[in-house]
Amino acid sequence: MGDVIVLDLETQKSFDEVGGRDNLHLLRVSVVGIYSYNQNLFRTFTEWETPSLRGMLEEAGLIVGFNIKRFDYPVLEPYLKRNLRDLPTLDIMEDVQRFLGHRLSLDTLVKATLGEGKTGHGLDAIRYFREGEIEKLKRYCLDDVRLTRDLYDYGKQHGHMKYEKNSESRSIPVSWASPASIKNRS
């Protein structure tokens, strides 16, 4: 069984600059952050280093992300010159949407589940890139990777994630006990 990789990326441009959400392939990667369970290692890749991700992702037993299929993959695919949607992927957003019928933000879930929030917003990452604050950009991206990893770990261990509605804590059931069970669901 291959490695479990948690992935998140930041972009150089905003939706407004590329004509909306139908043009994700034009956003351009500023940095990709990953966590490798096998290596117990966080790592970043700049735009020009992204092609070296291809083998790592193709060999992974599971790739975990938040809204990864509808955002990260379309942004990353032009760099890797391949469709990533056929890779074994757990998109946490899909489980949220499947259960609730609507989307929630990563920040909403990690605040309710883990008791901590994101360190910023995607537009902060674009600003960091434009201002040449690459180390800040990498830290921001890897913090999102860490939060996604911790949310995934919590769901695996407890069988649910949490969110708040009307100031009341509620649960979203998940079955992430093993990568094999995730890959085999429809």
Of 182, 172, 34, nearest in space to 113 by CA = 172
What pLDDT is stored for residue 183 in this prediction? Answer: 52
Contact 69, 75 (CB under 8 A): no
Of 58, 125, 45, 50, nearest in space to 88 by CA = 58
For 103-136, the DSSP string reads: ---HHHHHHHHHS---SS-HHHHHHHHHTT-HHH
Of all residues in the chain, the percent with pLDDT exceeding 90 is: 81
Residue with tokens 């757990």: 90
At 140, the amino acid letter reads Y
What pLDDT is stored for residue 19 in this prediction? Answer: 85
Of 7, 2, 13, nearest in space to 126 by CA = 13
Residues of the chain with pLDDT under 70: 178-186
Model pTM above 0.75? yes
Burial class (CB in 10 A: 0-12, 13-18, 19+), 43: middle
CA 115 – CA 22 distance, rounded (Å): 34
Show the tokens assigned to 121. Answer: 């917003």
Length of the chain measured in residues: 186
What pLDDT is stored for residue 184 in this prediction? Answer: 44
**Cβ-proximal residues to 126 (8 Å cutoff; 6+ apart), any chain:** 10, 11, 12, 13, 14, 30
**Residues of 75-113 as b/e, b for ≥16 C-beta within 10 angstroms?**
bbeebbeeebeebbbbbbbbbbbeeeeeebbbbbbbbbb
What pLDDT is stored for residue 121 in this prediction? Answer: 80
What pLDDT is stored for residue 185 in this prediction? Answer: 46
